Chains A and B, each alone.
Chain A
Amino acid sequence: MTLTKPDTHVISLDAYVPLLGAPEIDELRVLAAQLSGRTVQMVNSTAMGGGVAEILNRLIPLMQELGLRPRWDVITGGEDFFEVTKAFHNALHGGPYQARKENFEVFLATNEMNRQRLQFDCEFTVIHDPQPLALIEARTRQEGHWLWRCHIDLSKPNAEVWGFLRPFVYRYDGALFSSPEFARQLPIPQYLSYPCIDPLSEKNVDLDPAVIQEVVERFGIDPSRPIITQISRFDRLKDPIGVVRAYKIVRRYMDCQLVLAGGSADDDPEGEIVLEEVRREAKEDPDIHLLNLPPWSATEINALQRASTIIVQKSLREGFGLTVTEALWKKKPVVASSVGGIPAQVIHKHTGLLVHSVEGAAYQIRYLLSNPALAQKLGEQGHDHVRENFLITTNVKRYITIFLHSMQHS
């Protein structure tokens, strides 16, 4: 694998003014002015694909526009390294793992190779996720500020893998987690940094009603009847069968359609099995639409979310749940499980409804279908919640604030 120069999208901060208001953007500039000319290095393991790369693609140009001097480095490594880090990733999520000594050696050797290859001379260095974690070895003196941004759920890590990685974490100045639930007890300061969406990305930008209609009709969905949607890959942890069962309860009382739209299952044998299980549960109900979408379906997902009457996220476990963020941004009423990062987004009875069972989900869907004014209000308040807390501009502001705080307390 070779170093890839990230292809950053250029969207000016001014483009966010109609969405956020000029004062918010002006104050971001005022805050950032104190960091003018300061160098920032972001390091992760991939330039394309995945949520971290997607965020950095937006973050870097926004930081540049604000007068900082950010740099994005991507570590390189062989297939063996990425196999090890993928296994580490699953183990840190609590999966079983039989660690072998050579796995740790591959991890350390690849980090060391990248330490020698990359330059570490910035005032702020942010290392993303576990893959480049050992690059902290590059910090020979207590110069600069080093932060570890952990995007994964560390609440129940495999003890051996975490035991190996933990000493590296201790050497950072702070760690950032996506949810307090995901954090560990650490001797360094831990900060909350919610994931974010970009309101101007293809998946979230406003769509022409004609585009929405075209997409809905292409998938054979009737736009004149209520549409209940869950956007998720076909994974048991997303409980698609639970969603079908909730829908069936709702259908005893009122007319509606169900859309389950997820990523392609071609490269995921388990996804194919789950999709088949969902098909069996659906029993060829013509009002259940199972859409197995390819990865380049951002506009289709955007349109399906916008066409929906209610968005459901009935996960059994969840990271942060950015599909919920996307739905709230589109002012949709959301019925979602109270797991992972969802309660941070769905404030029960204010920005959506939290549920704990199939029956609960069915009841709340019926309740919202019967109370469209409440559904609209929840959607609008959900939109405001996302605008205040979960957009890319808030993410930039959070980094700037952490940098300023680090400077003031160094």
Chain B
Amino acid sequence: MKKPEHPFRFVTVSYITRIGNQVATNLGELRDGLEMCSDASIFYHTFQSLSRYHFLTEGFSNEFAQWVLAALNSPMLAEQLAAPDIRAYLTLSDLRTDLLSITDQYCRSHPEETGRLAFEPFYFLESIEVTTPHTWEAWTLEEFRHWLEHISNESFHYHFLVSRLRSGLRTNDFSLWFENELGLKSLAQLTNRIDVYTNTLEGARAILNTFIDRELAA
């Protein structure tokens, strides 16, 4: 393990939700909304919903898919919309393109469903992110392990998932620091493979702690 040139600096994050003016009451309007809504709205209903509902570890991926299932009763489209893994996306624009393409294709092949009224409307909401640097910083893996226990789920989610949108890299803040600053490539890779879809954020953090403990014991 090499000595880092830069510490890992933890960030506190908090979100407020802005109510937009877009509403979908049927599938066609969802498709239009996906095309027109802001990036902040795509973020809210995908990346951030994974944090808000992290305790759902079975069958929940994003709010678009959930609405299609619960309000439109279209399980096939719901499954397709649930399939994109947000970890594969480095921009919200790419994620929007895929969600829109899935919805558009479904609408074309099921035109009779596009105008069917949903049980309840879908409101396009937006996330507003407010970050605050922590005074907590880690110069060693032991210190990192210590502070990791102290951060909130939102902060963990910010470093572990949202980081991709900031860095434009298919990795997370933790893995980047492990590899670039500590020279721990294997730990970085293991960390990046932790599945947030089948784990709660607490569960994902516990797995990361196990990897770190193993590294420290080696």
Contacts and interface: CB of A to CB of B under 8 A. Distances in A.
A27 B18 contact: no
A34 B132 contact: yes
B155 interface: yes
B53 A385 contact: yes
A14 interface: no
A22 B16 contact: no
Interface stretch (B85-93, B105-113, B119-127, B163-171): B119-127
A385 B154 CA distance: 14
Given A27-B12, A180-B123, A408-B130, A192 B56 contact: no
Contacts of B55: 381, 384-385, 388
A354 B125 CA distance: 22
A23 B12 CA distance: 11
B37 to A, nearest CB: 13
B77 to A, nearest CB: 16
B92 to A, nearest CB: 20
B15 A401 contact: yes
Contacts of A9: none
Given A27-B151, A350-B60, A401-B14, A338 B53 contact: no
B52 interface: yes
A213 to B, nearest CB: 30
Given A24-B152, A27-B152, A349-B70, A185 B14 contact: no
B128 interface: yes
A354 B18 CA distance: 25
Contacts of A381: 55-56
Contact of A338 (B14, B120, B123, B125): B120
Contacts of A356: 119
A354 B134 contact: no
A236 interface: no
Interface string B136-169: 0000000000000111111100000000000000
Give chain B's interface residue range (CB within 8 Å of chain A). 35 or more
A31 B13 CA distance: 8
Chain B interface helix/strand/loop/mixed: mixed
A24 B71 CA distance: 33
Given A22-B150, A191-B17, A192-B18, A350 B12 contact: no
B70 A191 contact: no
A265 B5 CA distance: 70
Nearest to B135: A30
Contact of A31 (B14, B17, B52, B151): B14
A402 interface: yes
A343 B17 contact: no
A343 B63 CA distance: 12
B151 A23 contact: yes
B59 interface: yes
B152 A348 contact: no
B76 interface: no
A347 B53 contact: yes
B19 interface: yes
Of B21, B125, B152, the most chain A CB neighbours within 10 A belong to: B152
A389 interface: yes
Interface string A31-43: 1001000000000
A335 interface: no
Interface string B1-41: 00000000000101111110101000000000000000000
Contacts of B52: 388-389
A405 interface: yes
A220 to B, nearest CB: 37
A347 B63 CA distance: 10
A205 interface: no
B17 A192 contact: yes
Contacts of B212: none
A145 to B, nearest CB: 13
A369 interface: no
B69 interface: yes
Contacts of B59: 349-350
Contacts of A347: 53, 56, 60, 66, 70
Interface of A: 22-24, 26-27, 30-31, 34, 177, 180-181, 183, 185, 189-192, 338-339, 343, 347-351, 354, 356, 381, 384-385, 388-389, 397-398, 400-402, 404-405, 408
23 contacts: A23-B155, A26-B150, A31-B14, A34-B132, A180-B125, A183-B19, A191-B17, A191-B19, A192-B16, A192-B125, A343-B120, A347-B60, A350-B60, A350-B66, A388-B52, A388-B53, A397-B14, A398-B16, A400-B14, A401-B15, A401-B128, A402-B16, A405-B130
- The 10 A-B pairs with the shortest beta carbon distances in the complex, nearest first, are A180-B123, A384-B55, A348-B70, A192-B17, A190-B19, A401-B14, A27-B152, A23-B152, A180-B19, A401-B16
